[in-house]
Structure 1
Amino acid sequence: MKSKTFYSNGKLLLTAEYVVLDGALSLAVPTKYGQSLTISPISESKIYWVSFDHEDRIWFEGCFNLDNFSTEEQGDISKRIIQILKAAKTLNPQFLNSTKGYKVTTKLDFPRNWGLGTSSTLINNIANWANVDAYQLLNKTFGGSGYDIACAENNTPITYQLQNGNPIVLPCTFNPSFKDNLYFVHLNKKQNSREGIKHYKEAKGDSNFSVEAINTITKELLTCMHLEAFKNLITEHENYISKITKQTTIKDLYFKDFQGAVKSLGAWGGDFVLVASANNPIEYFKSKGFETLIPYSEMVR
């Protein structure tokens, strides 16, 4: 067998963060940044694993026994890899069912702290390698709504919705005429999605929110023709989620004097925010200490 490479796209959730878990219709986009996984057969009954970051630096290296995936490594990353490999094997007992092992090489296109899906791209790549369902593998490991798996597998924007726990993924046309006025700004810190979901479940309590209200915003964004209308919609969305999660909006926290609109993405408080602005906002955000600003067309597939 020759070497084989799998590739998965990174992800950004533009609408329905948190409430996607409760069946809201979300708009998600795959990014031009992602992660590859290459497997090369070796004669030893081991898995040699090496992970490279976007600057070709090794950020993880480990060796796992093929029979039970045990390792002398004690770190969290090793534990996660073992968890994923074991889960993949429960879904497909024929996976890694040989005396010969592999060298596994992963390579990220983006900095690890960007939050574009270091975990979800890995899950999807291993699922493809193991020939198992990526959503099932996600459920057995990290959990979450699964929209990130859908982005990993699609090369266009999608709508994503859970119906009776099953993912409904539909490619959609989201190519606004004002996309040159849209930017993604990194908040200089990584947000833990699992912690964000935990906070959401605790905060929403008996709050009387309507999934339909978010569905309506998502649908209106898909057909929105004008920048001002788009800004109003994402501000409305931001205020709605703020009430449910009992969190201050990012704009109120950091960018109160900004003339455009700012919308949190995914788990609030870290990673990227979506910015809609009639004027180029680079200097504004740099003056606030936020150096990573990526135009929409450079980020989204």
Structure 2
Amino acid sequence: MKKTFYSNGKLLITGEYVVLDGAKALAIPTKFGQNLIIENSESGLIEWTSYDYDKSIWFEETFSFSSIVEKKNYEAIHNIKNTLIEILHEAYKLNSNFLTESKGYKITTELTFPKFWGLGTSSTLINNIAQWLEIDAYQLLKNSFGGSGYDVACAQNNSAIIYQLNDEKPLIKTISFKPDFTSKIYFVYLNKKQNSKEAIASYLEKRGSVEKTIAQINAITDTVANSTELMEFALALQKHEIVMSTVLELPTVQESLFEDFNGVIKSLGAWGGDFILAVAKEDPTDYFKGRGYEVVIPYNEMIL
């Protein structure tokens, strides 16, 4: 019998980095996501195939049940395989039945976005595996990748959320975020995927005392989430960039790459890669494409 599970991708609009320290974050699920398809087999193995958005295979491997139980570690060239074994090992610790009561699986994953976009290849997988095995996705994330968990919350919800950690426990408030000016919001891919773990490590080194920063970001998140005017929304995003630029000791993406842009640009998630958000009164597609950034997606084509 075939079982299919699906999880939404994500974009973090406010609260990057400081969400780890308990700041409020506005996060939005995307129309793009990932499927997980489970079929039983008699092989005594897990036969795993991962497809990119264009139906090309980007990962294909076979695992023994024992490699998962023992959390076998292969050579560094098998980095993806090792990561997957780690996730499945942690899942096994939370619910061993999927190995002890099975004769084998054929497992397929299907992305509906290019995997290098950074919309949640890992978080959608974590949430799909948790759905399949009926375990806590946040616990599985904590035990494997780590992170704040906002991406798992997006995987599970079909509307915008205010996400906050309280004593390491996620607080999730679903909200309606559909301002009249969404036609003025665009998402632009910066042609490189950012390593979130490295970016977070750098933040943890530089953050210092975060109480003031958290208060500032909380206020900005509330403003952004409740904005009814484009100018109010844009100015709040600009203020967010200035606050985080000071904390991270980095120039904003607008300062470093798009100083002449007629509008406001904000980094999303780890600074320096993946997507940015652009607010502009006129369609900025030609501006970005003229600078080599071919992926420019209007808000309503990206956001669920």
For the pair 1:114 / 2:117, whether they are aligned, the reply is yes
Alignment of 1:62-73 (within 5 A): 62-69=61-68
Change (3 A) 1:209 1:247: farther
Q: CA RMSD in A?
A: 1.4
Q: C-alpha separation between the residues in 2 aligned to 1:143 and 1:208?
A: 22
Change (3 A) 1:127 1:228: same
Q: C-alpha separation between the residues in 2 aligned to 1:155 and 1:130?
A: 21
Q: C-alpha separation between the residues in 1 aligned to 2:129 and 2:58?
A: 19
- 97-106 vs 64-73, which moves further: 64-73
Q: C-alpha separation between the residues in 2 aligned to 1:219 and 1:207?
A: 18
- Identity, % of aligned pairs? 49
What is the TM-score of this pair, normalised by structure 1?
A: 0.97
Structure 2 unmatched ranges of 5 or more: none
Q: C-alpha separation between the residues in 2 aligned to 1:124 and 1:208?
A: 31
Letter aligned with residue 60 of structure 2: E
For the pair 1:282 / 2:285, whether they are aligned, the reply is yes
Query: In the alignment, is the contact (CA less than 8 A) between 1:209 and 1:244 conserved in 2?
Result: no
Q: Report the alpha carbon displacement of residue 203 of structure 1 after superposing the two structures with TM.
A: 1.4
**Equivalent position SS for 2:67:** coil
Q: C-alpha separation between the residues in 1 aligned to 2:209 and 2:215?
A: 17
Letter aligned with residue 57 of structure 1: S
Work out which of the residue numbers 232, 237, 250 in structure 2 matches 1:234: 237
**Equivalent position SS for 2:254:** helix
For the pair 1:193 / 2:196, whether they are aligned, the reply is yes
2:247 aligns with 244
Work out which of the residue numbers 165, 170, 175 in structure 1 matches 2:168: 165
Query: In the alignment, is the contact (CA less than 8 A) between 2:73 and 2:82 conserved in 1?
Result: no
Q: C-alpha separation between the residues in 2 aligned to 1:80 and 1:72?
A: 10
1:134 aligns with 137
For the pair 1:224 / 2:223, whether they are aligned, the reply is no
2:59 aligns with 60
Letter aligned with residue 129 of structure 1: W
Letter aligned with residue 242 of structure 1: S
1:25 aligns with 24
**Equivalent position SS for 1:214:** helix
**Equivalent position SS for 1:176:** coil
Alignment of 1:19-98 (within 5 A): 19-69=18-68, 75-98=78-101
Query: In the alignment, is the contact (CA less than 8 A) between 2:39 and 2:105 conserved in 1?
Result: yes
**Equivalent position SS for 1:49:** strand
**Equivalent position SS for 1:56:** coil
**Equivalent position SS for 1:67:** helix
For the pair 1:155 / 2:154, whether they are aligned, the reply is no
Letter aligned with residue 8 of structure 2: N
**Equivalent position SS for 2:243:** helix
For the pair 1:100 / 2:103, whether they are aligned, the reply is yes
For the pair 1:210 / 2:209, whether they are aligned, the reply is no
Q: Report the alpha carbon displacement of residue 287 of structure 1 after superposing the two structures with TM.
A: 1.0
Q: Report the alpha carbon displacement of residue 248 of structure 1 after superposing the two structures with TM.
A: 0.7
Q: Report the alpha carbon displacement of residue 159 of structure 1 after superposing the two structures with TM.
A: 0.6
Query: In the alignment, is the contact (CA less than 8 A) between 1:65 and 1:71 conserved in 2?
Result: no
Q: C-alpha separation between the residues in 2 aligned to 1:72 and 1:232?
A: 49
1:178 aligns with 181
Equivalent pairs, count: 300
Q: Report the alpha carbon displacement of residue 209 of structure 1 after superposing the two structures with TM.
A: 3.3
Query: In the alignment, is the contact (CA less than 8 A) between 1:63 and 1:71 conserved in 2?
Result: no
What is the TM-score of this pair, normalised by structure 2?
A: 0.96
Q: C-alpha separation between the residues in 1 aligned to 2:98 and 2:263?
A: 51
Q: 4+ residue stretches of structure 1 with deviation over 3 A?
A: 70-74, 206-209
Q: Report the alpha carbon displacement of residue 198 of structure 1 after superposing the two structures with TM.
A: 0.4
Letter aligned with residue 27 of structure 2: A
